[in-house]
Amino acid sequence: MLPQDVRAARRSSVLRAHAYVEQAGAGLSAADPVCHDLGMALGTDRAMRVLLCVGGDADDLAVALGAAWRDAAPACDVEVVALPARSEDEPGGGRPAGVFVPLGSLGLTKVAGPGDGPLAGAAAAADLVVVHVPVLDATTLHSGPVPAAVSAAAPLALPVVVLAGHSEVSRREWSGAGISGVHETGPDAVAATRRAARTWAPSWA
């Protein structure tokens, strides 16, 4: 595993590259300085590693979103994780503790909740953490899959991107909660996931 300072610098470059893409729009070429910056950050000898967390026990959706990200960004190595909508210590959580349960045929992994060591372990191998929730509001911003992903990513300086069917929080609120970007998916989460993948992990990455 790379030293912490190297990992932090690499992730910082990913964020700088994304900010540039947002400002410059389409039409970047491999000769663009930001492409070189991101290539140096990730290394040209391996894929960008994405941890995709899907909340609400929606296994089929998790598989579909993982496939959509891989489709749109073949240079990415995507690990898909299913998270419960609530953690054990939240009202209504009520799920027994658990660990990773590999579902080989689906390419899906399950964890019990935000405090799980396996989630932190999966984040440690990633360059980017992405989490999907149906709605991003004052409740889901601070409870459930989103803060679970942020908690796993924060010690590693990993950027966290939220895919939300609908967002009711301001940029100031979600950035203050440790989130690097929010994409509203609307009714077609699969298509929106492809767009997010192309934004955060362009083909030249």
pLDDT digits (tens), the chain, 205 positions: 555 555 555 555 555 555 544 444 444 444 444 444 444 445 555 678 999 999 866 788 999 999 999 999 988 899 998 887 665 545 444 443 333 333 344 444 444 444 446 788 889 989 999 999 999 999 999 999 999 999 999 999 999 999 999 999 999 999 999 999 999 999 999 999 999 999 987 555 4
| pLDDT for position 201 | 78
Q: How far apart are CA 202 and CA 18, in angstroms?
A: 9
Q: How far apart are CA 174 and CA 197, in angstroms?
A: 20
| pLDDT for position 101 | 36
- The residues with which 183 forms a beta bridge, in sequence order, are 163
Where do the structural domains in the chain lie, given as residue ranges? Answer: 47-200
Note the CATH number of domain 47-200: 3.40.50.2300
- pTM for this predicted structure: 0.70
